[in-house]
């Protein structure tokens, strides 16, 4: 079934994908009626049942949300701020209770109290102010020896011309840069590019994963809104290296300001000589609210109009990706680094950072720090320096930081001095740097509630493709929900559940969940001990 729908979607990919038809049909009121699904089914030979099943995966297409007019952010950072009840009370002045929904993160973690209303992402301070379309610039601080991400584009034409170099030179410079993917997996980018370049197919695609969904992460949003041409130029260079003729940038629905900016940037790019010479077409796809679409194969399925479920691998996207064709897919920060590398050389990029983690890295620091915002630092920079010197320390007494989102790490404050901003330092200490979002966990917030929050998040966002994740995340959530000092969780059963999730889940959503949970159980065992007890071996 998936193969047939993928083939049907590919036939119309130059016009509108099946997913784009669903988005367009839902625009008037935010949901899809039976009549609309039937009409799309007539346009494309796909059953209404498939279309309904697919749309149900998304927050902003799900029929259960058809009457929602405002959505409150319940992401980790906003949750820790503890003002969602006040925000709901404020919204109830304008809306009925059933008109207010919830979303997991809106990328305003540096301010908090965020909600989305009528296509605008706001906070309480902005709620009744005029000028909702005014672009609010995310605070950006660079402490890198040479900034890769703070270049202004004065001459768009010249900017794109700078990446129009020989394919071999692009590959060579990116190889020497040792650039690793910034989306969390840290895979060598040049290796992925070479795999796509060597693959055979009728057409090749470049896909930018701009579905930044980790609560606490908003560095991609900064790049999309303030460095859009860096991202597109990186995609163009990758297309030249891979001999790709088409590209997609998949921007999450919640980044409403970025939609207009990227659309304008694509129009500006298409008016350059670089576009005329390369004939590399870039299209923006706007998501519909689904965390799992941040996983690369689920994102590809989403573009095609399939359920955004994770694919089994191999084959990898470089060999068989979008529409079953060779596809180079990477995240926003990775693509945005490429123009600087090609302009200044791969060796210049490699001279920053460490031997294995080269260049600079963007970090997102939430409102739990005295100076929140996006930080650019050299790889290898001490984490202590970033938090206490650059960001001024915590805005309130804190016991831990979450780094890398709900699948990242929970690091107690006394371990901060042991870490530096590079993949190896985090890995050797039993942590994960991930995408680089940093959230402060205040002393007053119970760790058992934080653990409940992570499990509930994953249970809600699991795509359901594999049994361990679909059932395991819900089972863990249920176990923790009922846990108390009087009725503790059996620690043997709980650890067995974590082992199953880690070892048998199809993707990082299930297999990555045990890491932060075990971080909490290791470093906050005294606080959690009353909620867990060793059960019978039988």
Share above pLDDT 90 across residues of the chain, in percent, rounded to a whole number: 75
Query: In the CATH hierarchy, which fold is given to the domain comprising 141-350?
Result: Rossmann fold (3.40.50)
pLDDT of residue 250: 98
Per-residue model confidence as pLDDT tens digits over 389-431? 999 999 999 999 999 999 999 999 999 999 999 999 999 999 9
pLDDT of residue 134: 52
Among 24-28, 146-150, 286-290, the minimum mean pLDDT is found in: 24-28
Q: Which helix (H) or strand (E) holds 223?
A: helix 219-226
CB of 358 closer than 8 Å to CB of 236: no
pLDDT of residue 1: 55
Report residue 461: phi and psi, to 5°: -100, -5
pLDDT of residue 537: 41
Q: Which helix (H) or strand (E) holds 70?
A: strand 70-73
Return d(Cα 8, Cα 201) in angstroms, integer. Answer: 17
Give me the mean pLDDT over the 127-145 stretch. Answer: 72
Confidence at 30, pLDDT banded by 50, 70, 90: low
Q: Which CATH number fits domain 447-533: 3.40.50.1100, 1.10.3720.10, 1.20.1440.230, 1.20.140.10?
A: 1.20.1440.230
Per-residue model confidence as pLDDT tens digits over 352-399? 999 999 999 999 999 999 999 999 999 999 999 999 999 999 999 999
Return d(Cα 352, Cα 184) in angstroms, integer. Answer: 19
CATH architecture of the domain covering 362-404+412-441 = Roll (3.10)
Q: Residue 114: left if φ>0, alpha if ψ -120 to 50, beta else—which one? A: beta
Asked whether residue 151 carries a pLDDT value surpassing 90, the answer given is no
Return d(Cα 335, Cα 320) in angstroms, integer. Answer: 21
pLDDT of residue 528: 95
> Regarding predicted confidence, which is higher, 189 or 37?
189
Among 64-68, 224-228, 497-501, the minimum mean pLDDT is found in: 64-68
Q: DSSP code of 386?
A: I
- Say which residue the tokens 């260079």 belong to: 237
Asked whether residue 130 carries a pLDDT value surpassing 50, the answer given is no
pLDDT of residue 132: 52
Closest CA to 244 of 164, 172, 326, 302: 326
Bridge partners for 332 per DSSP: none
Return d(Cα 364, Cα 439) in angstroms, integer. Answer: 8
Share above pLDDT 70 across residues of the chain, in percent, rounded to a whole number: 95
Confidence at 247, pLDDT banded by 50, 70, 90: very high
Closest CA to 258 of 135, 129, 98: 135
Confidence at 129, pLDDT banded by 50, 70, 90: very low
Q: Residue 212: left if φ>0, alpha if ψ -120 to 50, beta else—which one? A: beta
Return d(Cα 448, Cα 80) in angstroms, integer. Answer: 13
pLDDT of residue 128: 47
Q: Which helix (H) or strand (E) holds 24?
A: helix 18-26
Per-residue model confidence as pLDDT tens digits over 314-359? 999 999 999 999 999 999 999 999 999 999 999 999 999 999 999 9
- Say which residue the tokens 């080269």 belong to: 358
Bridge partners for 398 per DSSP: 442
CB of 457 closer than 8 Å to CB of 78: no
Mean pLDDT, the chain, rounded, equals 92
């Amino acid at each position: 079934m998936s193969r047939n729908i993928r083939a049907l979607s590919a036939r119309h990919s130059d016009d509108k994908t099946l997913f784009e038809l669903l988005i367009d049909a839902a625009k008037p009121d935010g949901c899809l009626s039976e009549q609309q699904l039937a009409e799309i089914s007539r346009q494309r030979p796909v059953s209404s049942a498939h279309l309904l099943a697919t749309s149900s995966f998304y927050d902003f297409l799900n029929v259960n949300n058809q009457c929602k007019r405002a959505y409150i952010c319940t992401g980790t950072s906003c949750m820790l701020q503890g003002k969602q009840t006040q925000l709901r009370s404020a919204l109830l002045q304008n809306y009925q209770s059933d008109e207010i929904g919830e979303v997991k993160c809106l990328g305003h973690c540096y301010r908090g109290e965020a909600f989305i209303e009528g296509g605008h992402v706001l906070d309480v301070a902005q709620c009744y102010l005029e000028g909702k379309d005014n672009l609010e610039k995310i605070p950006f601080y660079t402490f890198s020896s040479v900034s890769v991400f703070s270049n202004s584009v004065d001459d768009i034409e010249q900017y794109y011309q700078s990446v129009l170099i020989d394919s071999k030179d692009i590959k060579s410079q990116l190889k020497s840069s040792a650039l690793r993917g910034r989306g969390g997996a840290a895979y060598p980018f040049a290796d992925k590019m070479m795999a796509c370049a060597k693959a055979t197919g009728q057409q090749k695609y470049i896909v930018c994963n701009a579905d930044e969904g980790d609560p606490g992460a908003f560095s991609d949003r900064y790049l999309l809104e303030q460095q859009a041409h860096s991202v597109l130029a990186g995609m163009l260079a990758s297309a030249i290296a891979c001999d790709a003729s088409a590209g997609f940038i998949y921007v999450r629905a919640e980044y409403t300001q970025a939609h207009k900016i990227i659309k304008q940037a694509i129009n500006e790019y298409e008016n350059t000589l670089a576009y005329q010479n390369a004939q590399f077409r870039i299209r923006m796809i706007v998501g519909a609210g689904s965390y799992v679409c941040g996983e690369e194969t689920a994102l590809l399925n989403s573009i095609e109009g399939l359920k955004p479920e994770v694919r089994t691998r191999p084959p990898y996207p470089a060999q068989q990706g979008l529409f079953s064709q060779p596809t180079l897919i990477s995240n926003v920060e990775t693509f945005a680094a490429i123009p600087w590398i090609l302009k200044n050389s791969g060796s210049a990029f490699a001279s920053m950072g460490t031997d294995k983690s080269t260049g600079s890295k963007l970090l997102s620091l939430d409102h739990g720090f005295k100076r929140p915002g996006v930080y650019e630092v050299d790889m290898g920079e001490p984490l202590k320096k970033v938090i206490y010197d650059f960001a001024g320390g915590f805005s309130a007494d804190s016991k831990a930081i979450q780094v890398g989102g709900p699948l990242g790490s929970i690091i107690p404050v006394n371990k901060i001095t042991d870490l530096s901003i590079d993949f190896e330092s985090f890995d050797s200490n039993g942590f994960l740097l991930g995408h680089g979002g940093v959230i402060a966990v205040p002393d007053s917030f119970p760790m058992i509630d934080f653990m409940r929050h992570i499990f509930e998040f994953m249970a809600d966002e699991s795509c359901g493709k594999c049994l361990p994740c679909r059932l395991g995340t819900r089972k863990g959530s249920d176990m923790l929900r009922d846990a108390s000092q009087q009725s503790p969780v059996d620690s043997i059963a709980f650890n067995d559940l974590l082992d199953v999730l880690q070892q048998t889940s199809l993707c990082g959503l299930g297999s990555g969940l045990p890491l932060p949970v075990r971080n909490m159980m290791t470093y906050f065992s005294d606080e959690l001990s009353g909620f867990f007890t060793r059960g019978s071996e039988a």
